[in-house]
Amino acid sequence: MITTPTAFRVDPSDNVATLLGDAAEGATIVIVGSGANSEVAAREKIALGHKIALASIAEGQPITKFGVVIGIAMRPIGPGEWVHLHNCRSRVDERSGSFDLQTGAPPVAPSQKRV
């Protein structure tokens, strides 16, 4: 049985949705929730629980999820792109642009490294 990947948009003002399953590059993602009822093609492989852009987001523009700004685009992001640490930074933690892409861990300052 083939299932269509879906993503959930919480608030009408959200410009990202959360994947409810893994999506392969090129997969058509059905956006549900909050009157979304639309589709977007995944530009890359995106894992369950991660965010996908629903529209173009210019560099410096807010990333909105749950109707709340959760970050700022560090570069232009196109519809269907994975939105994560490589293209989104926090307005609260300036280190966020250098967090580990897989674990989300902040970088270790040279003074904190163990020898």
| Residue ranges of domains in the chain | 6-105
State how far the Cα of 61 lies from the Cα of 65, in Å rounded to an integer.
13
Distance of CA 98 to the CA centre of its chain: 16
Fold of 6-105: 2.30.130
pLDDT of residue 57: 98
pLDDT of residue 53: 97
Percentage of residues of the chain with pLDDT beyond 90: 61
pLDDT of residue 1: 42
pTM attached to this predicted model: 0.78
CA angle 36, 23, 50 (to 5 degrees): 70
Residues 90-103 pLDDT 10s: 876 665 556 666 66
State how far the Cα of 107 lies from the Cα of 104, in Å rounded to an integer.
9
In 3-state terms, what secondary structure has residue 3?
A: coil
The type of residue at 35 is G
Is the pLDDT reported for residue 63 higher than 50? Answer: yes
pLDDT of residue 9: 93
